[in-house]
Amino acid sequence: MQVIDPATEFDRSLTKVLVHEGGYSNHKQDPGGATMRGVTQRVYDEFRLSQGLGTQSVKQIADAELKLIYRKKYWNEIKGDKLASGVSYVVFDGAVNSGVAQSVKWLQRALQELGLYQGAIDGNLGQGTLLALSGVNDNDSLIARVCARRMAFLKALRTFGTFGKGWTARVAGVRAVGQAWASGSVGPEISYVAGGDAKAFLSDAKAAPVLAVADGATGSGIGSGGLAATLQQVQDQLSPLSYSSALIGKVVGGLIILGAVLTIGGLAYRWYAKRKKDRLLDALDIPVEA
């Protein structure tokens, strides 16, 4: 693993993060609410109270406070000083935007895809994850996979339609800078894109398809088939009465067709809904049931 200067790595990573975060925002669809340079009012209140200070508007946050919050709440939590150059920045930026646990999950999934990690996808950057990172010999590939996992997550949020353009630009910039740093170069300049600073949390995930709807349709189809069988018995008993028998025969035929349509349609929709649900859960790093 590349040996880096922890102080330098944090400072230059924070500089890039602050470009993406911009200034003050309070978009009604942003779950972060009132936010100044990436720090939400809630986080700022918690920090001030922990320091024995009274709360105040996040708009008044001082540079020293900002830097301390970023180091303690995000950089230290992802063990940034122990990560390779470039990788630390990518995980750091993800943690600021979507929370530490979520960003670490993207890292763990990427390591899993590379066959280096077999542990739980739990968002905890422990010894198992650090051991897996020590086996990485291509940080460019690792960073690309982390960013791909991040984009899949963002697209699975209800707010992607509102903030997707900004998020996409942000992740593209993070990937470019991270890969450049991993290879020892300076990396490209990045710029703020509106919407990229909106918080992206699991709480805003899209709703998964409800499989009960498909099961209900399939059950109705089976039920129609049972009713058709009963009417078939009635038809047999009324066979001497040709008119009644013919009428029941038409009803039986209709029920059989309806039952087939409902059963096949229900099964087909269930297959589609199950695939869509599994893809959504995978993008959100939620275990998919067998």
pLDDT digits (tens, 9 = 90+) for 72-125: 999 999 999 999 999 999 999 999 999 999 999 999 999 999 999 999 999 999
Taking residues 47-56, report their average pLDDT: 97
Mean pLDDT of 142-160: 98
* Distance between CA atoms of residues 252 and 230, nearest Å: 9
Average pLDDT, rounded, for the chain: 86
- Residue 129 pLDDT > 90: yes
226 Cβ neighbours under 8 A, 6+ residues apart: none
DSSP count for the chain of H helices, then E strands:
10, 3
Q: Does residue 271 carry a pLDDT above 50?
A: no
Contact 83, 111 (CB under 8 A): no
pLDDT, position 2: 46
Phi, psi of 166 (to 5 degrees): -65, -45
- The pTM for the full model equals 0.79
pLDDT at 242 > cutoff 90 = no
Q: Is 35 exposed, middle or buried (0-12, 13-18, 19+ CB in 10 A)?
A: buried
Nearest C-alpha neighbor of 274 from the set 290, 259, 285, 286: 290
The pLDDT score that the predictor gives to residue 216 is: 56
* pLDDT bucket at 57, cuts 50 / 70 / 90: very high
> pLDDT above 70 covers what percent of the chain?
74
